[in-house]
Amino acid sequence: MSKHTQHLERIKNAIKTAPLSEDEKSQSMKHVEEWIMEDKAFGTLKNELLEISEYFETLFAELGLTK
C-alpha cells in the first residue's frame, strides 16, 4: 500500500466520525474511494512498465515516484 493510499485510508476513517451529515459523509467517502482506486490503478501501471524496461525506474526516480 502506497503512502498516498495510507493517507486516503486515514481520511476515510476520519470521515466516519466527522461532524458531517450522512449525505456529506456519503459524498466524501465516494470521492475518497475513487482516489484509492486511481492510486491502485497507477501502482499497477507503474509495476507493469517497470517489468517492461529498467528505463522506467530511472524515469520514475526523476519524477520522484520511486518504488
Residue 28 covered by a domain: yes
Question: Is 67 contained in some domain?
Answer: no
| 34 assigned to some structural domain | yes
**What pLDDT is recorded for position 52?**
92
Tell whether 7 is covered by a domain: yes
Mean pLDDT confidence for 44-54: 91
Establish if 16 belongs to a structural domain: yes
Q: How far apart are CA 29 and CA 21, in angstroms?
A: 12
Identify whether 35 is part of a domain.
Answer: yes
Range of the domain at 55: 3-62
Q: Residues 6 or more apart from 17 whose CB is under 8 A from it?
A: none
Segment 19-40, tens digit of pLDDT? 999 999 999 999 999 988 888 8
The DSSP letter of residue 65 is -
Residue 52 counted as domain residue: yes
Q: Cite the beta strand spans of the chain per DSSP E.
A: none
Per-residue pLDDT band at 1 (split at 50, 70, 90): low
pTM to 2 decimal places: 0.68
In this structure, are residues 37 and 6 in contact, taking their beta carbons and an 8 Å threshold?
Answer: no
| 29 class by beta-carbon count within 10 Å (0-12 exposed, 13-18 middle, 19+ buried) | middle
Number of domains in the chain: 1
